[in-house]
Amino acid sequence: MKDYIKHINKDFESRARLGIMSVLMVTESVNFSYLKEALQLTDGNLSSHLRTLEEAGYLQVEKQFIGRKPSTSYQATKQGTTAFKNHLDALERLILTNKNQD
Amino acid sequence: MKDYIKHINKDFESRARLGIMSVLMVTESVNFSYLKEALQLTDGNLSSHLRTLEEAGYLQVEKQFIGRKPSTSYQATKQGTTAFKNHLDALERLILTNKNQD
């Protein structure tokens, strides 16, 4: 298999997860509603992608109360940041390889 | 939703389909065994991804006999080439956006 394809991380394949990780690279900590709005996902869909990323160790979840309102926020772990950067590098190599064939 | 995320094409999300389209950008026509070897996929897995891409109109299939041996070959359609380039452009924007935040 071509090297760059092997380094494309299946955990980040979906558009939703690419989006979640992109947001978390920019913002240290975001809450559920922010992600939902930014990525235009349903609650169920977003929850499921967040759970996958959490289980892979790529993000951590913090539950707290703001006043009496529960709020859940998410931030990328160091492992998640590194893995996502490697994924983007692999995608970049794939793009460059394709461009060089134009 | 961020514009570049909206343009990421769900049909090309999976690593296998990224790989298939990449190979078809480089080589005008390839046969099943070549793809299988290049992408290290099982017959079933490769067939299923090829079918999805064919149904989306992104590749066309040609069945012929080489001597007495049947051979199936695949090539990207014009639509497939355009769609894949747009997908790579969207990924490139996502990468650039992430890099600029370093």
**Structure confidence by residue, pLDDT tens digits, B32-89:** 998 998 888 999 999 999 999 999 999 999 998 888 988 899 999 999 999 999 999 8
| A98–B contact, CB cutoff 8 A | yes
Mean pLDDT calculated for residue range A49-74 = 93
Compute the mean pLDDT over every residue in chain A, rounded to the nearest whole number: 89
Mean pLDDT calculated for residue range B1-12 = 80
Provide the sign of the torsion angle of the four alpha carbons A102, B6, B10, B15, taken in this order: positive
Residue A101 within any structural domain of the chain: no
Q: Is the pLDDT of residue B102 over 70?
A: no
Residue B58 within any structural domain of the chain: yes
Residue B22 within any structural domain of the chain: yes
Burial code (b: 16+ CB inside 10 Å, e: under 16) for B74-89 equals: bebbeebbebbbebbe
Give the whole-angstrom CA distance, residue A75 versus residue A29. Answer: 5
- CATH number of the domain encompassing residue A8: 1.10.10.10
Q: Give residue-wise pLDDT tens across range A76-94.
A: 999 999 999 999 988 888 8
By residue range, what is the domain housing residue B18? 3-96
How many contacts, defined by CB atoms under 8 Å, are there between A and B? 70
Mean pLDDT calculated for residue range A3-9 = 81
Residue A70 within any structural domain of the chain: yes
Q: Do A8 and B18 touch (CB under 8 A)?
A: yes
What B89-93 contacts at long range (C-beta under 8 Å, 24+ apart), as own/partner pairs, is B89/B7, B90/B4, B90/B5, B90/B6, B90/B7, B90/B8, B90/B9, B91/A91, B91/A95, B91/B8, B92/A92, B92/A95, B93/B3, B93/B4, B93/B7
Name the pLDDT band for B101 (thresholds 50, 70, 90): low
Q: Do B88 and A94 touch (CB under 8 A)?
A: yes
How far apart are the CA of B81 and the nearest CA of chain A, in angstroms? 11
Name the pLDDT band for B24 (thresholds 50, 70, 90): very high
Residue of B14, B91, B101 lying closest to A25 (CB–CB): B101
Highest mean pLDDT: which range of A54-63, A92-101, B4-13 = A54-63
| A86–B contact, CB cutoff 8 A | no
DSSP state of B10: G
Q: Which residue of B has its CA nearest to A9?
A: B15
Residue B84 within any structural domain of the chain: yes
Alpha helix (H) residue ranges in B1-102: 3-6, 15-26, 32-39, 43-55, 78-99
Q: Which residue of B has its CA nearest to A16?
A: B5
Give the whole-angstrom CA distance, residue B82 versus residue A92. Answer: 18
Contacts of A13 in chain B (CB under 8 A): 13-15
Residue A92 within any structural domain of the chain: yes
Provide the sign of the torsion angle of the four alpha carbons B30, B32, B34, B35, taken in this order: positive
Q: Which of B5, B31, B4, B20 is nearest to B58 (CA)?
A: B20
Q: How many domains does chain A have?
A: 1
Residue A102 within any structural domain of the chain: no
Query: B-contacting residues of A 17-76, CB under 8 Å?
Result: 18-19, 22, 25-26, 38-40
Give the whole-angstrom CA distance, residue A85 versus residue A8. Answer: 11
| B93–A contact, CB cutoff 8 A | no
Instruction: Tell the burial category of B50 from Cβ atoms under 10 Å away from its Cβ (0-12, 13-18, 19+).
Output: buried
